[in-house]
Amino acid sequence: MDTPAAPPSGLPPAGPPPVGLPLDGDGYPAPSGVARRPAGTAESARANRRWWDAAAPAYLAEHGADLGDVDFLWCPEGLREADAHLLGDVAGRRVLEVGCGSAPCARWLRRAGAEVVALDLSAGMLARAAELGRATGLAVPLLQADAGALPLAGAAFDVVCSAFGGLPFVADADGALVEVARVLRPGGRFVASVNHPFRWPLPDSPDPADLQVTSSYFDRTPYVETGEDGATVYAEHHRTVGDWVRAVVGAGLVVEDLLEPEWTPGRTQEWGQWSPARGALVPGTLVLVCAKPR
């Protein structure tokens, strides 16, 4: 397969240190301001790379146990690939994971017999992925790259997946999905979980008592956090359900299913605004299940 392998050291390519991102008491970057304003492709990628490099230790300390070292969790609702089988039989298949983070999904896929490449924007996340690959004995090739510009050969993969990976942080979702379609073989499968678009107009709170519309569902203006100098340090982009469908179709893929996972019975884990009480009322995740025509 014409794809890059991990460096001999097992470490991801070096990235710039997250200079100028002071951390809050919880270990996450502390923004100086929050705005709703445009944020372009290069600006979003640069900001989110630095943010995730700085946030990786706190994020994994908070969520690492839930994510697992070798597991495939699609969403905070608790849907797992072992139960959902959205990717089909991956044994012997070539799989690209986009936005792999510390790569528990990629290691799960390798254990299931897949040949996997795990891609993420953040060197901080990939460093932890390399550590866990060595610790579990399930190392996978790691690639630091932007989801919107995949440095990979065309038609190289049977499956592309993304479990809350880079797509919500990419300014040009249409372009990113064109890239996904390019690297997929005819007949290949693409499955991605993203923030449910219905989250956008609601408060970022796990308490169902806070469920009220506070902004327009149709306002696509990005959510941007800024530093003391006014520069973007984090950017998240909103698309409606229709936007996602049009992006998939525009990339030449076929939508086979749209899943809105319900909260897993007995699951008590809260994850930001996701909670059992809120999850019983409104969806928090949208899963795009797609295929590339033969």
- Give me the residue spans of the domains in the chain: 33-291
Domain at 33-291, CATH class:
alpha beta
Averaged pLDDT, groups of 10, the chain, 294 residues long? 37 42 94 95 96 97 97 98 98 98 98 98 98 98 96 98 94 97 98 96 95 96 94 96 98 98 96 95 98 98
Q: Inter-axis angle of helices 173-183 and 241-250, to 10 degrees?
A: 40
Residue from 191, 184, 186 nearest 87 by CA = 191
Q: Is 162 helix (H, G, I), strand (E, B) or coil?
A: strand
* pLDDT recorded at residue 34: 95
Distance CA(58)–CA(71), nearest Å, equals 20
* pLDDT recorded at residue 240: 98
* pLDDT recorded at residue 248: 98
Cα distances from 71 to residues 43, 83, 174, 217, in angstroms, run 32, 11, 29, 33
Residue from 217, 218, 278 nearest 77 by CA = 278
What lies within 8 Å, CB to CB, of 258 at 6+ separation is: 241, 245, 286, 287, 288, 289
* pLDDT recorded at residue 241: 98
Decide: 156 and 185 in contact? Cβ < 8 Å: yes
Distance CA(144)–CA(99), nearest Å, equals 10
Q: Which two tokens stand for residue 131?
A: 């550590």
Q: Is 93 helix (H, G, I), strand (E, B) or coil?
A: coil
**What global pTM score does this model have?**
0.92
